[in-house]
């Protein structure tokens, strides 16, 4: 069954949750219409009210039915395209992948608060608060554990590119922007994320955006 799909996103340079939803959407290879709403402008709220009950992005519309929240969008897309490989095939690996995705979804508040995503700009050594660096150490430990246990057939957390990597892709942007201390294994993983074709396209498009938001 073919569905009419629309994905509502915000600024590529700043909207980490939009990035997650868009990467998942692209990975399914399902045709979709992209609706872009620039954030932090006087008209933003009125535009969001047309599409998003939470006034947040991203939003996925499936034949007009609204799905909001990035993780819910990933699961909805997994239902629509179960063979796309959004999650690992092995049940145990899939369970762990969902666990690490949920930890990102619900946690690491200090990193997200103190190091907002800005893909175009570098802030070396800035915003490295104790809480943000504690979150960063936990994330690196989590990445290392996944790579050691499950990444036999590729450079990503579970070998092949999956929703778990999509959930952490904005973190890679943060680590790069704020020059977060990272070991060689972490940097190898970050390089793999940065070079992933859909991620590389998003980064390129973010550099072309004319919008500037004052983050701090």
pLDDT tens digit string along 56-88? 999 999 999 999 999 999 999 999 999 999 999
Whole-angstrom Cα distance, residue 198 to residue 196? 6
Tell me the pLDDT band of 216, cut-offs 50, 70 and 90: very high
Torsion-angle region of residue 47: left (phi > 0), alpha (psi -120 to 50) or beta?
Answer: alpha
Rounded alpha-carbon distances, angstroms, from residue 101 to 3, 105, 130, 215:
26, 6, 23, 25
Q: Where are the alpha helices (DSSP H) in 29-129?
A: 44-49, 70-80, 91-106, 109-114
Q: What is the pTM of this model?
A: 0.98
Give DSSP secondary structure letters for 5-45. EEEEE--TTT-HHHHHHHHHHHHHT---EEEE--SSSTTHH
pLDDT, the chain, mean: 97
Closest CA to 168 of 176, 123, 184, 10: 176
Tell me the pLDDT band of 21, cut-offs 50, 70 and 90: very high
Segment 172-185, tens digit of pLDDT: 999 999 999 999 99
């Amino acid at each position: 069954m073919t569905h009419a799909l629309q994905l509502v996103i915000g600024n590529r340079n700043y909207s980490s949750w939009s990035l997650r939803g868009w990467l998942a959407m692209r990975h399914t290879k399902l045709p979709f219409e992209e609706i872009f709403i620039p954030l932090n402008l006087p008209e933003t709220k009125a535009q969001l009210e047309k599409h998003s009950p939470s006034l947040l992005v991203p939003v996925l519309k499936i034949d007009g039915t609204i799905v909001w929240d990035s993780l819910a969008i990933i699961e909805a897309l997994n239902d629509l395209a179960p063979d796309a490989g959004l999650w690992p095939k092995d049940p145990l690996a899939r369970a762990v992948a969902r666990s690490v995705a949920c930890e990102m979804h619900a946690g690491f508040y200090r990193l997200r608060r103190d190091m907002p995503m800005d893909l175009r700009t570098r802030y070396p050594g800035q915003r490295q608060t104790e809480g943000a660096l504690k979150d960063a150490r936990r994330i690196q430990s989590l990445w290392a554990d996944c790579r050691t246990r499950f990444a036999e057939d590729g450079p990503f957390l579970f070998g092949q590119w999956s929703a778990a990597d999509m959930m952490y892709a904005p973190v890679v942007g943060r680590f790069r922007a704020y020059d977060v201390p990272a070991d060689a294994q972490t940097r190898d993983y970050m390089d793999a994320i940065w070079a992933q074709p859909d991620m590389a396209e998003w980064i390129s498009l973010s550099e072309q955006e004319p919008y500037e938001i004052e983050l701090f």
